[in-house]
Amino acid sequence: MSRKYECLVCGRIFPEGQGIKLNLAGREVYFHSKRCALKFFKSLVLYIDQKVLEQAVKSTVKEYEEKLKEIHEKTRKSLERIQ
Protein backbone atom coordinates (compact mmCIF):
# COMPACT_ATOMS: atom_id res chain seq x y z
CA MET A 1 0.00 0.00 0.00
CA SER A 2 1.32 3.43 -0.98
CA ARG A 3 2.07 5.97 1.75
CA LYS A 4 0.20 9.25 1.73
CA TYR A 5 1.70 12.66 2.42
CA GLU A 6 0.15 16.04 3.20
CA CYS A 7 1.43 19.17 1.47
CA LEU A 8 2.81 21.54 4.08
CA VAL A 9 1.55 24.58 2.17
CA CYS A 10 -1.92 23.73 0.86
CA GLY A 11 -2.82 20.61 2.83
CA ARG A 12 -3.51 18.46 -0.23
CA ILE A 13 -3.02 14.73 0.33
CA PHE A 14 -0.93 12.93 -2.31
CA PRO A 15 0.54 9.43 -2.72
CA GLU A 16 4.19 8.47 -2.40
CA GLY A 17 5.99 8.94 -5.71
CA GLN A 18 4.22 12.17 -6.51
CA GLY A 19 4.95 15.66 -5.29
CA ILE A 20 8.19 16.88 -3.76
CA LYS A 21 9.82 15.44 -0.66
CA LEU A 22 12.81 17.32 0.81
CA ASN A 23 14.98 16.95 3.87
CA LEU A 24 15.64 20.45 5.23
CA ALA A 25 17.63 20.96 8.41
CA GLY A 26 17.01 17.35 9.43
CA ARG A 27 13.26 17.58 8.88
CA GLU A 28 11.30 16.04 6.02
CA VAL A 29 8.86 18.39 4.30
CA TYR A 30 6.35 17.50 1.60
CA PHE A 31 4.84 19.58 -1.19
CA HIS A 32 2.27 18.40 -3.69
CA SER A 33 3.61 20.69 -6.45
CA LYS A 34 6.54 22.88 -7.39
CA ARG A 35 4.24 25.87 -6.92
CA CYS A 36 3.75 24.99 -3.24
CA ALA A 37 7.49 24.35 -2.81
CA LEU A 38 8.30 27.75 -4.33
CA LYS A 39 5.77 29.46 -2.06
CA PHE A 40 7.42 27.79 0.96
CA PHE A 41 10.94 28.80 -0.13
CA LYS A 42 9.89 32.40 -0.76
CA SER A 43 8.64 32.54 2.82
CA LEU A 44 11.67 30.68 4.19
CA VAL A 45 14.08 33.22 2.69
CA LEU A 46 12.50 35.97 4.79
CA TYR A 47 13.54 34.18 8.01
CA ILE A 48 17.19 33.65 7.07
CA ASP A 49 19.79 35.99 8.54
CA GLN A 50 20.74 38.58 5.90
CA LYS A 51 24.50 37.85 6.11
CA VAL A 52 23.93 34.11 5.74
CA LEU A 53 21.52 34.71 2.85
CA GLU A 54 24.01 37.04 1.15
CA GLN A 55 26.73 34.37 1.20
CA ALA A 56 24.30 31.66 0.04
CA VAL A 57 23.12 33.81 -2.88
CA LYS A 58 26.71 34.62 -3.83
CA SER A 59 27.73 30.94 -3.81
CA THR A 60 24.65 29.80 -5.70
CA VAL A 61 24.98 32.49 -8.38
CA LYS A 62 28.64 31.56 -8.83
CA GLU A 63 27.74 27.87 -9.19
CA TYR A 64 25.16 28.55 -11.90
CA GLU A 65 27.36 31.07 -13.71
CA GLU A 66 30.07 28.39 -13.93
CA LYS A 67 27.57 25.87 -15.29
CA LEU A 68 26.38 28.37 -17.91
CA LYS A 69 29.96 29.10 -18.86
CA GLU A 70 30.57 25.37 -19.44
CA ILE A 71 27.41 25.12 -21.56
CA HIS A 72 28.43 28.13 -23.66
CA GLU A 73 31.93 26.71 -24.11
CA LYS A 74 30.57 23.33 -25.29
CA THR A 75 28.20 25.08 -27.70
CA ARG A 76 31.04 27.21 -29.06
CA LYS A 77 33.25 24.14 -29.59
CA SER A 78 30.40 22.30 -31.34
CA LEU A 79 29.86 25.22 -33.69
CA GLU A 80 33.59 25.44 -34.45
CA ARG A 81 33.66 21.75 -35.43
CA ILE A 82 30.72 22.20 -37.78
CA GLN A 83 32.29 25.12 -39.63
Both 43 and 67 in a single domain?
Answer: no
pLDDT, average across residues 28-35: 97
Terminal CA-CA length for the chain: 57
Tell me the residue range of the domain where 63 lies. 48-83
Both 38 and 55 in a single domain?
Answer: no
Both 70 and 57 in a single domain?
Answer: yes
pLDDT over 80 (residue 16): yes
Both 20 and 59 in a single domain?
Answer: no
Please give the single-letter amino acid code of residue 10: C
Both 62 and 33 in a single domain?
Answer: no
Pick the closest to residue 20 from 10, 7, 30, 12 (CA basis): 30
The pTM assigned to this predicted structure is: 0.75
pLDDT digit string, tens, across residues 2-11:
899 999 999 9
pLDDT at position 81, please? 78
